[in-house]
A = this chain, B = another copy of it.
Amino acid sequence: MDAIDLSLVDLLRGNARLSYAELARQVGLSAPAVHERVGKLESSGVVRGYRADVAPESIGLGVTALIGIVEDSGADTDDMLESLRVLPEIESCYFMAGVESFLLKARVGTIAELEQLIVRLNRTPGVASTRTTIALSTKWENRPQPVGPAVG
């Protein structure tokens, strides 16, 4: 991970569909060299993949909620994780410090679907309680913060 790798990471966080030729121009290397570097970033786990950033409301996921989960004392955290993992509505799952062991970001189409999700969560073994707050609007999300040196 030298400065050029950081530049490549920055460029790809900004636009994952840049061609190797374009990346090469930006960082001042040849296309094969960039190809090699990006391949290594991928196989070493620095770059985990490439995702289209899609407006959720345009694919019928207009309701965003954050759900904190308090575990039962003695609950098996790994089992709970597996129960959470199979729920597709849960986009993100953080294991937190504090009373609420998990913080989930869920995305559904309607409030009714959110209700169903919460019911399911409360029925999940190991869940003592849930606390849901609704996001009225998403001001921004997953904004990449620049890490590399400035790239001309």
Nearest CB of B to A96, in Å: 5
A36 at the binding interface (Cβ < 8 Å): no
Do B136 and A51 have beta carbons less than 8 Å apart?
A: no
Nearest CB of B to A97, in Å: 5
A85 at the binding interface (Cβ < 8 Å): yes
Question: 5 A-B contacts, Cβ less than 8 Å apart?
Answer: A47-B54, A81-B139, A84-B139, A92-B142, A142-B142
> Per-residue CB proximity of A113-152 to B under 8 Å, as 1/0?
0000000000000000000011111111111111100000
As for how many copies of this chain the complex holds, the number is 2
Residues of B within 8 A of A133 (CB): 96-98, 100, 103
**A interface residues (Cβ-Cβ under 8 A, vs B):** 1, 6, 9, 12-17, 45-55, 58-61, 64, 66, 81, 84-85, 88-98, 100, 102-103, 107, 133-147
Residues of B within 8 A of A103 (CB): 66, 133, 135
The 5 closest A-B pairs by CB, nearest first: A12-B52, A16-B50, A94-B135, A93-B139, A88-B145
Nearest CB of B to A147, in Å: 5
Measured between alpha carbons, how far is A55 from B146 in the docked complex, in Å?
A: 14
Measured between alpha carbons, how far is A133 from B133 in the docked complex, in Å?
A: 15
Supposing A58-B1, A142-B91, A147-B59 touch, asked if A50 and B136 sit within 8 A by C-beta, the answer is no
